[in-house]
Chains A and B, each alone.
Chain A
Amino acid sequence: MDNRQKEINDLKDYKYGFSTDIENIQAPKGLNEDVIKFISNIKKEPSWMLDFRLKAFERFKVLKEPDWQKPKFSKIDYQDLYYYSAPKSMKDKPKSLDELDPKLLETYKKLGIPLQEQARLNGIAVDAVFDSVSVATTFKDELTKQGIIFCPISEAIQNHPELVKKYLGSVIPTSDHFFATLNSAVFTDGSFVYIPEGVRCPMELSTYFRINASNTGQFERTLIIADKGSYVSYLEGCTAPMRDENQLHAANVELIALDDAEIKYSTVQNWYPGDKDGKGGIYNFVTKRGLCKGKNSKISWTQVETGSAITWKYPSCILKGDNSVGEFYSIAITNNYQKADTGTKMIHLGKNTKSKIISKGISAGSSDMTYRGLVDISSKAKNSTNYTQCDSLLMGNKCGAHTVPYIKNKNSESNIAHEATTSKISEEQLHYCQQRGLNPEEAVGLIVNGFCKEVLQQLPMEFAVEAQKLVGISLEGSVG
């Protein structure tokens, strides 16, 4: 019994809440042109990249922070943040993992992401991002053999400028909304993936984001390009230490799928959600957008959102190519004082385009959850279809669950179907499970996992197991 209790207690706590004591190089506090030049300089960027940043910053200066979202937050002082923070040992980039600061290796080991070769058996190539820099990328050689480029975006800017120049900002331009523009101005690192024509990426690519330094905003930029007929599955995971203040995370992710290409993007987001009284936690304001540029292309987003004090993001698909397909599978779980406003946008521009949205929201404690989505079928998108299903589950009467879909149909040959339900776990189901020997928490875990099954199935195997556990942990303490 004691053991079991201990196990539960261990699970209840946010086990990634430690911070690593490591020497940092930081940009001066605040946001101005000098800081942007500092970032650009320390990354040894070419001048076109600096111009890109400065153009975004010009635009950022005239933008106002949006306030239409459901979860309100106290004003962020953008001048009180560090926009660049990197472990000192990374200043002169280590050539191999052996040169990497042992403290960093230790950190990732603790997070369950072993970077050393001998520990890597699961066949996933990992790019580990620590605060503002990418510290290690694994399996690089094997991927290079196939012509796949998988490296930190700062390296790609130097080694593959033609690709970066062509595609960076093509889906999320520098003239986009507030947080995306901020990111364009100050982004620090992130992953770059290029899959050449006709190549099916042999392993899962993955990025692991970690915020460590305090008072730091993390602004990564991910750019994935799948050339004609290629396929890639990409995973993203994130954690942060427990801190009392709120930390901002404003990333941009751009996906581009050319003719017949497919990108599968999965996220398990487990940023520090704040404590039981809603103190601290990450503000996760991320812009994710995919462009199905070519014919028959496909982009699929899968997300499991369990962490963050506030999650505010809408991974979207622009279905430009004829016959292209966009999919969105989401589980969002909020507990305690967490808030989420998440969903997707499906913009149908090409003919015969199809999109599917499955969203499952679970709110418990005093949390608040909103699904907000847009389905827009333009007048040219003949014969397109959309199917949307969003279900919400409420646990307790202090939480809220909201659904705000925007549905626009401008084409008479296209069909849209939308369904949404909100309910609670039925007493009968709970009773049935308990009667067969499960305790109330296990019963809820089982039912919730069943509720989320459609989405969990979409995750790659290794992630599915983790996500399933995460679903259970996130709801600990919400029953009874």
Chain B
Amino acid sequence: MREQLQKDFNNSIKNLGLSQKDIEIKKFCLDNFIDKGFPNRKEEDWKFSDLNQIIKNNIGELSFYNDQASTNKVDTSVFVDGLEHNKIVFINGRIEKIDFEYEKKDQIEIIDQSETINEFKNSNSLSDLNNAFTNKCFKILVKKGYQLIKPLIIYHTTNSKIWSKNINLRLNFELDKDSSLRLIDLFNDTSEKNFLNIFYNFELKENAVLKNYKVDKFENKNIKYSFNNIDQDKNSISETFILSSGSNFSKNEINCNLNGVYASAFVNGVFSLNNDKHHEIRSIINHLNENTKSYQLIKSVLDESSKAVYQGKIFVNSDAQKTDGYQLSKAILLNKESEFNAKPELEIYADDVKCSHGSASGSLNEDSIFYLMSRGLSYQQSRELLINGFLLDVVEKITDSEIKNLIKNMIGIKE
């Protein structure tokens, strides 16, 4: 892999026109990655999902060079109907379109930040890989007091024209004071067996509101890793919803720093898996100031030989008195081959706090099925009804009604 990395790296920086200093920094990141390699189960955070092994078994040797000079055709058929929205389109890792047609142009600024390197706290060798190979990075700045009228949908599309086996993406967002953004990540992959490595960085100023919905719905054979870093100032709110279903392997990491007082974070997730899939959500909520709040709800329905992992950590600093942290994960195992692993973690250094977590996993409740069947439903219908209700609980947590309905339709959950 080492020679391949070196070769592809040299190819990809050739046409970027970077300064010597930037090349040095990128090279440093590359060397770091070569040194550490893909994360494996020896690392505590990857105990349940050995990425190194998974890539080896599913993809084999990776290649990293993507020619960014040639454009891809934007396929409009993937766009969401019936919901007016702004768009960012990634095709095979290349930004093809940024379109804020419904917004006031002077309120949103798009800044090219390709030269800067993101230093993520609590991250791993994948951020080095990302830093070494991303060649375009934009920062989207929502100005003070501006609240986007329409949601922004980021389309992540890959198709058979993809150059290499690995795609690295990076986006930065800054939400200035009193601003708000609704953001949907929609994955649409028709390529086979690629490794997608996505890093987002969000900076929320006072009173800013971020709602991020990640929807990985369509069946595909890719391996995905996504890392969200969210820094939150006073009174800001972040809401993250993850639908984890389509990819062969997927790991979503949320690292949320509640820096300002009264900041709050919500993480809700649904795993709906079958067919040997292996998905993970790992969240770290750092309560760093007083009166901060976090709430997490993760539900899984696991069929066939699928495997879901939830690692959630609530960290409370000694200054963060009056913290309220809550975390609940529930899983239904439908098949004897399926597996659910959880590591709900509390690390607390302040005494005046209210923190709790719960985790439960097991089979569908036979009594409930009996109840429904005794009222005339078939076994299959009862099962579906119960699962529907189980997952609806999480979807109902979505605060934006427009998007809630969209997601309900997408995953076929009835009220």
Interface set of A (CB-CB < 8 Å, partner B): 68, 379, 392, 394-424
Q: Judge whether B335 is part of the interface by a CB distance below 8 angstroms.
A: yes
B336/A419 in contact, CB under 8 A: no
Contact B318 A397 (CB under 8 A): yes
Known: A404-B343, A407-B343, A413-B363. A397 touches B348 (CB 8 A): no
Give the shortest distance, in Å, between B141 (CB) and chain A (any CB).
Answer: 38
Q: Does the CB pair B346–A415 fall under 8 Å?
A: no
Residues of A within 8 A of B321 (CB): 397
- Chain A residues near B351 (CB, 8 Å)? 394-397, 399, 424
| Given known A394-B348, A397-B318, A401-B348, contact A419–B356 (CB-CB < 8 A) | yes
For the complex, give the distance between the alpha carbons of A415 and B341 in Å: 12
Q: Which of A392, A394, A406, A409 is close to B343, meaning CB atoms less than 8 Å apart?
A: A406
- For residue B101, CB closer than 8 A to chain A, the reply is no
- Which residues of chain B are within 8 angstroms of A396 by Cβ–Cβ distance? 351
Q: Which of B345-380 contact A (CB under 8 A)?
A: 345-363
B288-327 to A contact mask, C-beta < 8 Å, 1/0: 0000000000000000000000000000001001000000
A397-B318, A402-B348, A404-B345 in contact; A412/B357 too (CB < 8 A)? Answer: no
Asked if B262 CB lies within 8 Å of chain A CBs, one says: no
| B335 x A412 contact (CB < 8 A) | yes
Residues on B lying within 8 angstroms of A by beta carbon are 44, 318, 321, 331, 333-363
Nearest A residue (CB) for B356? A421
Known: A408-B339, A416-B360, A420-B356. A400 touches B344 (CB 8 A): no
Find the B residue at minimum CB distance from A407: B342
Residues of B within 8 A of A408 (CB): 339-341
B345 touches A415 (CB 8 A): no
Q: In the bound complex, do residue B333 and residue A405 qualify as a contact, i.e. CB atoms below 8 Å apart? A: no
Q: What B residues does A397 contact at CB under 8 A?
A: 318, 321, 349-352
A68-B44, A400-B349, A402-B348 as given contacts; A418 in contact with B359, CB under 8 Å: yes
In the assembled complex, the CB of A246 is this many whole angstroms from the nearest CB of chain B, namely 24
Q: Are B360 and A415 in contact (CB under 8 A)?
A: yes
A420 touches B338 (CB 8 A): no
Interface secondary structure of A, over-half rule: strand
Known interface pairs A401-B346, A418-B357, A419-B356; 5 further A-B residue pairs with C-beta atoms within 8 A, sorted by A's residue number: A403-B344, A409-B331, A409-B333, A412-B363, A422-B354
Closest residue of A by beta carbon distance from B341: A408
A420 to B346, CA, bound (A): 9
The DSSP consensus for interface residues of chain B is: strand
Across-interface contacts of B318 in A (CB, < 8 A): 397-398
Q: How far, in Å, is B290 (CB) from chain A's closest CB?
A: 12
Q: Is the CB of B354 within 8 A of A417?
A: no
Check B336 against A420 for contact (C-beta < 8 Å).
no
CB-CB under 8 A from A422, the residues of chain B are 346, 348, 353-356
30 intermolecular pairs with C-beta atoms under 8 Å apart: A392-B348, A394-B348, A394-B351, A400-B347, A400-B349, A401-B346, A402-B348, A403-B346, A404-B345, A405-B343, A405-B345, A408-B340, A409-B341, A409-B361, A409-B362, A410-B339, A412-B336, A413-B336, A415-B361, A415-B362, A416-B359, A416-B361, A417-B360, A418-B357, A420-B344, A421-B356, A422-B355, A422-B356, A423-B353, A424-B353
User: Do residues A403 and B345 form an inter-chain contact, with CB atoms below 8 A?
Assistant: yes
**Contact partners of A400 in chain B: CB under 8 A:** 347-349
CB closest residue in chain A, given B319: A397
Give the residues in chain B near A392, CB-CB below 8 Å: 346, 348
B340 touches A409 (CB 8 A): yes
Report, nearest first, the 7 A-B pairs whose CB atoms are least far apart.
A415-B362, A412-B333, A394-B351, A403-B346, A418-B359, A421-B356, A407-B342
B393 to chain A, nearest CB (A): 17
In the complex, what residues of B have CB within 8 A of residue A414's CB? 362-363
> Which A residues touch B333, using CB under 8 A?
409, 411-412
Chain A residues, Cβ within 8 Å of B331: 409
Residues of B within 8 A of A403 (CB): 344-346, 357
With both beta carbons as reference points, the residue of chain A lying nearest to B325 in the complex is identified as A422
Shortest CB distance B340–A (Å): 5
Name the CB-closest residue of A to B336: A412
Instruction: Name the one of A394, A402, A420 contacting B358, with C-beta atoms under 8 angstroms.
Output: A420
Q: Which of B334, B338, B344 has the most CB of A within 10 A?
A: B344
Complex CA gap A171/B219 in Å reads 45
Question: Hey, which chain B residues are within 8 Å of A406, CB to CB?
Answer: 341-343
Beyond A412-B338, A420-B356, A422-B356, is A407–B346 a contact (Cβ under 8 Å)? no
Q: How far is the CA of A405 from the CA of B361 in the complex (A)?
A: 14
Least CB separation from A411: chain B residue: B336
Distance in Å: Cβ of B39 to nearest Cβ of chain A: 16
CA distance A408 to B331 in the complex (A): 11
CB-CB under 8 A from A420, the residues of chain B are 344, 346, 356-358
A458 and B361 CA atoms in complex are apart in Å by 28
How many Å from the CB of B232 to the closest CB on chain A? 22
Across the two chains, which residue of chain A brings its CB closest to B311? A406
Write the chain A residue with the least CB distance to B302: A412
